[in-house]
Amino acid sequence: MEHVFTAIAVGFEAAGAAAMIIGAIIALVLGARSLSRRDGGRAAFQTLRNTLGSAILLGLEILVAADLIRTITSKPSIEDAVILGLIVLIRTVLSMSIQIEIEGVVPWRRALLTSGGQLLAQNIRDDARAARAADAGAADAR
């Protein structure tokens, strides 16, 4: 049974890494699209930065889940619990730092909690909205 949970934890780790890699690709595409719409370098950089930060947040959340599964399903020991605590603490501090950097406000001051996935989805929606507005402006100019 331990082999099954180890495989599940490895799957979560792969999913976390994939979320960060795919998110980085999405961030590059959204940043390039922002530049191609002539939104300006600052807007493109902000889009790239926010989207990449969101992808990293999502990946960290998944990696914490993998660590929890791995620790809970292994032979319990105080050493494993301390190591898990340190890993979760480090990843939590990283997540909070990235979230503060993206949103400009500490998480406990935010009225609505959002996850990395929600932030990533919001960036994609914002890009789609801007692309529709640019297409509509180009159609009106014709």
Number of independent structural domains in the chain: 1
The per-residue pLDDT for range 3-46, each reduced to its tens digit, is: 888 899 899 999 999 999 999 999 999 999 988 888 788 888 88
The residues, ordered by sequence, that sit 6+ positions from 73 with a Cβ below 8 Å of its Cβ are: 2, 5, 6, 9
pTM for the model stands at 0.68
User: From the CB of residue 42, how many other CB atoms can be counted at a distance below 10 Å?
Assistant: 9
User: Which range is least confidently modeled, 12-21, 111-120, 121-130?
Assistant: 111-120
Q: Say if residue 111's pLDDT is above 90.
A: no
Mean pLDDT of the residues in the chain: 84
Percentage of the chain beyond pLDDT 90 is 19
b (16+ CB within 10 A) / e for 95-121:
beebbeebeeeeeeeeeeebebbebbe
User: Residue 133 is part of which domain span?
Assistant: 2-141
